Structures are given as structure tokens and as C-alpha cells.
A = this chain, B = another copy of it.
Amino acid sequence: MTRWDTAPYSLRQLQYLVAVAELGGFRRAAEACGVAQPSLSAQIAQVEEVLGIQMFERGARGVRVTAAGARVIERARAVLLASRDLADTARQHSDPLTGTVRIGIIPTVCPYLLPEVAPALRAQLPNLHAVWVEDKTHALLEQIETAELDGAILALDPRVTHLEHAPIGDDPFVLAAAPGHPLAKRSGPASPDVLEGETVFLLEDGHCFRDQALALCGATGAREADLKATGLSTLVQMVGGGCGVTLLPKLAVPVENRRGQLAVRAFKSPAPTRRLILAWRKGSAMKRPLDAMANVIRKRM
């Protein structure tokens, strides 16, 4: 157990000790320290008193360091050196937009957003080093709680009420089907009702996008396919076969439908949407850099 009683002297007093020893006189030391000579005298007298050591021999031509004083002042130099180290370390970490920030990101966002925004972040926040961790929402929330992560890019969700967050952008759902599919016959915005009776491919449990899509299907009487996919690519492949439809976040479309193998239709306004946010622990010291990052990302969506 460390001791908690405080030292009977101050850093300033140690500074004065060293200055007097170095400059060989109270007057010169006082001038160098930017204080009046009596002030410095008093501090020296006090530190000599509390340590029970006469550090200096006062003479008519200045002072001379005593043997015991030399030992103590040697230690005082070490203390001041350590203090200087502390100040340096502090200066190095004092910029909130400098350092490392660990950010989680859900799988239905990560591969579509990150290639776009990562270079932008590096360019606009060059001293902020982001470490990205891709995982599902509940795992990310846990890691935020335990401070393994500083923040996470998530879809807004009842589970994030006890976190602070900044909005990143709204990502509407779109309907995707094989070009020959009946729902692809028409182009233009679709009503959610068109899903009624359709077989819809969804992601496996644990993906927040599954829950959101499932809510939409439940409201329209759609049927869930027997396959639960681990990623949106799988959904696209399945639907490409023509045996059903799926929902995709619009964000994923440029990547997942890059070959144009699917017909993609938006929903009628108000279109079902997920709101993407950057969330962090309430009161997190990373609020500043995370806010700044959210701003950069928002402009790219």
C-alpha cells in the first residue's frame, strides 16, 4: 500500500534549492527564479527547517553547499528531472486530436463505409490513429462498457440509450431481387406492402440489420427464407438465383451489386431506414476526438 501523506516541501522549494546551489547565492537564484530575494530566503529557510538540514553555509560572499545539502540537492535534481518528464509526457498527450482511438463497427457497415472514410479520416485528423474492430452490436456494446473500445459505429437501437452518440447518417433500406423476379418488373419506389407473401432472405441472429429487416417483414406478412446468412454478400448471391428477395442497406449496394446482377428498388417515402451513429461511453474522455471523427464521416455519407 502506498503512503498517502504529502511531502513537507514543494516542487518550488526544490527548484529554489537547486538554483541557489547552482548559482552560489540567494540573490542570483532569486533573480533567476523570478522572485524577490526575501521570498526565496523564506522558502529555503523553511525547507531547511522541515528537513532538519542546513543546506547552505551563509557567508559574506555568497553561500556554500554543505555536505548533507549536496546529497539532498542531488535528490532534488532527480525529483525535478522526473517532474520535467511528466510535463513532457503531458504535453505529448495534451492534444485531444492526437493519439489512438479504438472504434468498433458493425459488419453491415464496415466493408462499405470504411474504405471510403478511412482515408478521409487520416487526411483530416492526421494525428488521430484509429484502430477498427468489426463485430456485432452486442459485442461492441460490451467492449465499450469495459473500455476495450472507445466508441463504435452502430445502428441506432434501444440498447444504446445509456451511451452518448453523434449521428453519422441515415441509411435507407432497399429491396433487391433478381432481374426476372416479379417485384423487379416495376421500377421506382415500392411500398413495403409488396413484401406480403414473399420469401425474404435475412441475416443470421445477432445482426442488428436482421432485426430491423425482420420488423419490416413482420409488419407486411413476408416469410423468412430457411437460410440465415452470415453476410450481405450471401444474401445477394441467394437472391440472384431468383428464389426470393432480400433487403439491403443502401450503403451496401454499390459494393454488393457492383456487377448489376440484381434489380434494386427504393421504398416509398417514408422509406424504412436505419440511423447510423458513432456511440461512446457516457462521459468518455474520447468525446472530443470521436465527435470530430463523426463530423468527418458524416460529410462522406
Chain A interface (Cβ < 8 Å from any Cβ of B): 2, 4-12, 14-15, 18-19, 22, 32-34, 51-54, 56-59, 64, 66-69, 71-72, 74-76, 78-87, 89-91, 93-95, 99-100, 147, 281-286
Contacts and interface: CB of A to CB of B under 8 A. Distances in A.
Given A51-B94, A75-B85, A89-B71, A57 B284 contact: yes
Given A2-B22, A6-B33, A85-B75, A67 B15 contact: no
Contact of A79 (B56, B79, B95, B285): B79
Contacts of A285: 54, 56-57, 66, 68-69
Given A6-B15, A51-B87, A67-B99, 19 more contacts: A4-B34, A6-B33, A7-B86, A8-B87, A14-B86, A51-B90, A51-B94, A52-B91, A53-B90, A57-B283, A57-B284, A59-B283, A68-B99, A71-B89, A72-B90, A75-B82, A78-B82, A79-B82, A82-B82
A18 B283 CA distance: 21
